[in-house]
Structure 1
Amino acid sequence: MTDLNEQFETASKDVQTLTKKPGNDILLKLYSLFKQGSVGDVTGKRPGMTDFKGRAKYDAWSKCQGTPQDKAKQEYIDLVASLKG
């Protein structure tokens, strides 16, 4: 496992132990960077109008479209580090 992948995995565990819950915008950013870093570009169909949460997550992830996975992983790591203080 590369150093970046180890840091990404550690950050994904660290985010679960944050003492203060981030706001929705930050949570969506975390979600989108995690998905882009672990899966790549958005897949599947956009959820329907009544699935507000699913639609917001899909839209956030689609904004990362084309971002290289390593770059998304590093941004995720940096964001988690800033939230930890």
Structure 2
Amino acid sequence: MVSAEFNEKAEAVKNLTQKPTDDELLELYGLFKQATVGDNTTTKPGAFDFKGKYKWASWDKLKGTSQEDAEKQYIELVTNLIAKYN
């Protein structure tokens, strides 16, 4: 179960005045999935699903990270992005 602060940051990141870089977006995605679902147990997307593969890899590299740690890292990242893009 994620915290209220996590949910607030998840909403806040949608309202940034500038779009984060692709790398930042992938990091956000991976941390969000790790915090809310846990370890990635899904099948790797096919060879021609480039976006899906990058997202899958971003989440998969966090395997073994606790959901609590991923949540803290997500909150920290969003806080930094808000300072950078707002």
Shift of 1:43: 2.0
Give the CA RMSD over aligned residues: 1.2
Gaps of 5+ in 2: none
1:19 corresponds to: 17
In the alignment, is residue 69 of structure 1 matched against residue 67 of structure 2? Answer: yes
Distance 1:13 1:23 in 2: 18
| TM-score, normalising length: structure 1 | 0.94
Mapping for residues 2-41 of structure 1, pairs under 5 Å: 5-41=3-39
Shift of 1:54: 0.4
Shift of 1:73: 0.3
1:51 corresponds to: 49
Gaps of 5+ in 1: none
Shift of 1:51: 0.2
Aligned length: 83
